[in-house]
Amino acid sequence: MHSRAVILVPGRLNPHAHARVRDAFDCIDTARADTALLTDEMRARVQGIAAMTRIDAAFIDALPHLRIIANFGVGYDAVDAAHAASKGIVVTHTPDVLNDEVADTAIGLLLNTLRELPKAEAWLRAGRWAAEGPYRLTPLSLRRRSIGILGMGRIGKAIARRLEGFCVPIAYHNRRPDPALAYPYHDSIVDLAGAVDTLISVLPATAETLRICDRAVFEALGPRGVFINVGRGSTVNEADLALSLADGTIAAAGLDVFEDEPHVPRALLDLPNACLLPHVASASIDTRTAMGDLVADNLTRYFTDGRVLTPVPECQHFALRA
Ligand code: 8YV
């Protein structure tokens, strides 16, 4: 039964997810997902992985009894899912339970970027309100803006629903139009950027999206342009973005994600018109607990009846077949 299955936890895992894995399984911890750290016991016994770290093909190949990888996070670019799927190993992720939190944070980041709220608070805390007077009137506002959503999946739609309450026009780009949506669709990112002044990206990291938000996109967005990213940092050419913020090609950016986290390029850190967050879009106890439950529930279901709740697209039929 599932209580005897052996689950490997490489590196840090959300504490709630970790506790649930420890309760339900034989849990083995290792510092990193590094084949050099795998003992003979791990190679002989591990049947599942619960992780929020990179799991590459070599690590998968080093565990001959591996049957499931439960990824903590909806974005599963850190896991070589195609390789896992080719070996009949199921990969799961944590969609839906974080949609509202990430969408809430995206709106917060948008408003912070436009209305400079973190800087206004710093002004107050530094005693400058009393000493020098009110914080400046912000040159940017959400009023009279038009929004383009890049990546109209579950989270993109949750952001769009919130923005309707702000009475701003919304358009989008996605791999394909969604017939259920009334918002105008643009079939390229540059086209969308040219039609709006505010771009909110929720793009996942794939081979196709690598550094796809580049100088041409920022030029199309224009000097009033604001770029918000709560997807993946690798979808942005960060050098192009820093240049575009520095030379006025666009007005401002709000970023929750970076290509080489937790390292943020100096060129972005030095810019006054970049509002930067340390990848916190889903980072509330409430939402991370729900994500942790989904990681544990996927493992439990798999080792109980061979099914999983939320397989990644590459693994749909493996999950249903079992
Ligand atoms: C998490 C995320 O920060 O779900 C995702 O794809 O990026 C975030 O919710 C991340 O997965 C935690 O490692």
CATH number of the domain that residue 301 is part of: 3.40.50.720
pLDDT recorded at residue 317: 76
Q: Say whether both 174 and 257 belong to one domain.
A: yes
Q: What is the pTM of this model?
A: 0.96
Q: Do 72 and 117 sit in the same domain of this protein?
A: no
Q: What is the pLDDT of residue 318?
A: 57
Same domain, 180 and 33: no
Does 144 lie in the same domain as 80? no
Residues 58, 83, single domain; the answer is: yes
Do 268 and 298 share a domain, yes or no?
no
pLDDT at 2: 44
Q: Whose CA is nearest to atom 11 of ligand 1?
A: 73
Give the residue numbers spanning the domain of 26: 2-97+285-318
Enumerate residue ranges in the chain where pLDDT < 70.
1-3, 318-322
Q: Are residues 196 and 116 in the same domain?
A: yes
Are residues 27 and 132 both part of a single domain?
Answer: no
pLDDT at 1: 47
42 lies in the same domain as 130: no
Question: In 181-205, which positions are buried (b, 16+ CB within 10 angstroms) versus exposed (e)?
Answer: bebebbeebbebbbbbbbbbbbbbb
- Residues assigned a catalytic role: 232, 261, 279
235 and 88 part of one domain: no
* pLDDT for residue 320: 47
Residue 194 and residue 49 in one domain? no
Protein residue with its CA nearest to atom 8 in ligand 1: 73
> Is ligand 1 within 6 A of the CB of residue 294?
no
Contact 158, 134 (CB under 8 A): no
pLDDT the model gives residue 321: 45
- Say yes or no: CB of residue 257 within 6 Å of ligand 1: no
Give the H/E segment covering residue 207: none
Q: Which atom of ligand 1 is nearest to the CA of 76?
A: 6
Q: How far is the CA of 72 from the centre of ligand 1 (A)?
A: 7
Binding site membership of 52 for ligand 1 (Cβ less than 6 Å): yes
Q: What stretches of the chain adopt beta strand conformation (E)?
A: 6-10, 26-30, 48-51, 68-71, 90-92, 147-150, 170-173, 198-201, 226-229, 252-255, 274-276
Residue 25 CA to ligand 1 centre (angstroms): 24
Question: Total structural domains in the chain?
Answer: 2
250 and 106: one domain? Answer: yes
